[in-house]
């Protein structure tokens, strides 16, 4: 078993790390407290120009063609500086992969270059609804076919990048008489299409630099060619892409956890109490040892899932394991970091309270960790012949 990264993977990791330190870290706190959409979008454009918006998209389609492992490495480095930027990059890569997987040649040639180049600031993944979160097959957004194409009606919630996305991948019911989950299709809807309304922006606990909005479809007219993949096959596509997205969230959580513990460990090596550095106290040492051990385990789980996906092997179970473990390890690491800083860890003058807020949602989105446990258990039980 070879754990060594290729030269290309190291280059991508190091490039992401250098960019994050120089451009993302200096503005992350301001994005969190005040918001600065222009600075945020400028950094997304620069990341696109470096190839980070299409890491798993072939060169011929405008992407970097670097693979899933490189994607995971890059997201970790970006998240160490700014989780808001990392989630935007991760979701845009997801949108690219949906188009790459089931889009027509016309759809690929039109939208992939726009997303990969940064001409579109981001892509949006419009699946979740108010009453269809952990169970997306319960969605009620409808797409009705007529002689002019499709008419979309319904609403989606928690849509990352909605105000500045250039294109939305939208799931809607196309056969309401079909069994649950069997009558759903997938569409591409361009920003600015009449009837596509970006609703209120949510006020979140963390990852405040990225926008999360409700999206409404009110008699939204889209052409026949907006359908992606086969009619009524959209739910299968969504499930597959969510599995890949969990690798991105695992990598993001890992980056936030590492940032928190790196800051806290450096602080412990300098902070003096009772006449000595607090890093000399066993209680602090145990927090450091436990957090870094768990984060290293998270790293290996994440890269294992990424490698399996890159090699074309089944990876859904591994992706769920990685997302579940990494997100929970990151949350524990962030709270350990706050505890090591003591009262200072609770102040906005120090970044660890932001890391703790940014990490919290990683146990929720791309499928709650309760759902991840169901997926993992189901896959394990298959091997024991259980239904």
User: Could you give the residue numbers annotated as active site?
Assistant: 366
Cβ contacts of 17-21, under 8 Å, gap ≥ 24: 17/77, 17/80, 19/46, 19/47, 19/50, 19/78, 20/77, 20/78, 20/80, 20/81, 20/82, 21/81
Q: Domains of the chain (ranges plus CATH)?
A: 7-120 (1.10.540.10), 125-232 (2.40.110.10), 236-382 (1.20.140.10)
pLDDT in tens, 32-59: 999 899 999 999 999 999 999 999 999 9
Going by their DSSP bridges, the two strands 122-126 and 165-173 should be labelled as parallel
For the chain, what percent of residues have pLDDT higher than 90?
95
Percent of the residues in the chain that have a pLDDT greater than 70, as a whole number: 99
Confidence of residue 1 (pLDDT cuts 50, 70, 90): low
Phi and psi based region of residue 169 (left: phi greater than 0; alpha: psi -120 to 50; beta: remaining): beta
pLDDT of residue 197: 98
Could you tell me which residues come within 8 angstroms of residue 35 by beta carbon, excluding any fewer than 6 positions away?
208, 209
pLDDT of residue 3: 80
Nearest alpha carbon to residue 118 among 87, 150, 93, 83: 93
Per residue in 72-101, pLDDT tens?
999 999 999 999 999 999 999 999 999 999
Cβ neighbours of residue 21 closer than 8 Å, sequence gap 6 or more: 81
pLDDT above 70 for 387? no
DSSP 302: H
Q: Which residues pair with 173 in a beta bridge?
A: 142, 184
* Mean pLDDT in residue range 346-367: 97
Could you tell me if 45 and 114 are in contact, meaning their C-beta atoms sit under 8 angstroms apart?
A: no
Distance between CA atoms of residues 139 and 152, nearest Å: 13
Q: Which pLDDT belongs to residue 66?
A: 96
Beta-carbon contacts of residue 2 (< 8 Å; ≥ 6 apart): none
Residue 303 DSSP code:
H
Phi-psi category of residue 232: left, alpha or beta, with phi > 0 → left and psi -120 to 50 → alpha: left
Check whether 294 has a pLDDT greater than 70. Answer: yes
CA pair distance 260, 177, nearest whole angstrom: 50
Q: With bands split at pLDDT 50, 70 and 90, how would you rate the model's confidence at 386?
A: low
pLDDT digits (tens, 9 = 90+) for 212-266: 999 999 999 999 999 999 999 999 999 888 899 999 999 999 999 999 999 999 9
pTM: 0.96
Q: Is the pLDDT of residue 182 over 80?
A: yes
Q: Calculate mean pLDDT across residues 345-367.
A: 97
Give the separation between CA 372 and CA 355, rounded to whole angstroms: 23
Give the other-Cβ count within 10 Å of 371's Cβ.
18
Average pLDDT, the chain: 96
The predicted pLDDT at position 181 comes to: 87
Residue 122 pLDDT class (50, 70, 90 cuts): very high
Predicted confidence (pLDDT) at residue 2 exceeds the cutoff of 80: no
Instruction: Please report which confidence band the pLDDT of residue 385 belongs to, taking 50, 70 and 90 as the band edges.
Output: confident
Q: Would you say residue 299 has pLDDT above 90?
A: yes
Residue whose C-alpha is closest to residue 136's, from 179, 103, 87, 172: 172
């Amino acid at each position: 078993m070879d754990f060594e990264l290729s030269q290309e993977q190291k280059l991508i990791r190091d490039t992401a790390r250098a960019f994050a330190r120089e451009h993302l870290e200096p503005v992350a706190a301001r994005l969190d407290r005040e918001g600065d959409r222009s600075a945020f979008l400028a950094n997304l454009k620069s990341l696109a120009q470096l190839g980070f918006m299409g890491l798993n998209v072939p060169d011929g389609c405008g992407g970097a063609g670097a693979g899933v492992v490189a994607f995971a490495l890059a997201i970790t480095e970006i998240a160490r500086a700014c989780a808001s930027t990392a989630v935007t990059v991760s979701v845009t890569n997801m949108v690219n992969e949906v188009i790459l997987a089931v889009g027509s040649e016309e759809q690929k040639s039109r939208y992939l270059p726009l997303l990969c180049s940064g001409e579109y600031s981001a892509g949006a993944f419009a699946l979740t609804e108010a009453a269809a979160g952990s169970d997306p097959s319960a969605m009620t957004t409808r797409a009705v076919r007529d002689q002019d194409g499709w008419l979309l009606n319904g609403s989606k919630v928690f849509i990352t990048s909605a105000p500045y996305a250039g294109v939305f991948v939208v799931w809607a019911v196309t056969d309401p008489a079909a069994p649950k989950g069997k009558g759903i299709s997938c569409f591409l809807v361009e920003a600015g299409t009449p009837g596509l309304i970006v609703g209120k922006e949510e006020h979140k606990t963390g990852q405040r630099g990225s926008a999360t909005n409700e999206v409404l479809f009110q008699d939204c007219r889209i052409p026949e060619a907006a359908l992606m993949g086969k009619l009524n096959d959209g739910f299968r596509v969504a499930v597959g892409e969510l599995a890949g997205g969990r690798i991105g969230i695992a990598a993001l959580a890992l980056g936030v956890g590492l940032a928190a513990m790196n800051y806290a460990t450096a602080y412990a090596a300098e902070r003096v109490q009772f006449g000595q550095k607090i890093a000399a106290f066993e209680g602090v040492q145990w927090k450091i040892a436990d957090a870094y051990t768990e984060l290293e385990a998270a790293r290996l789980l994440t890269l294992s899932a990424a490698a399996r996906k890159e090699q074309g092997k089944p990876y859904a179970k591994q992706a769920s394991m990685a997302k579940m473990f990494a997100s929970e390890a990151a949350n524990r690491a962030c709270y350990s970091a706050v505890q090591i800083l003591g009262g200072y860890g609770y102040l906005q003058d120090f970044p660890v309270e932001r890391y703790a807020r940014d990490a919290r949602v990683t146990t929720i989105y791309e499928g709650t960790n309760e759902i991840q446990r169901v997926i993992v258990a189901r896959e394990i039980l298959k091997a024991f012949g259980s239904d």
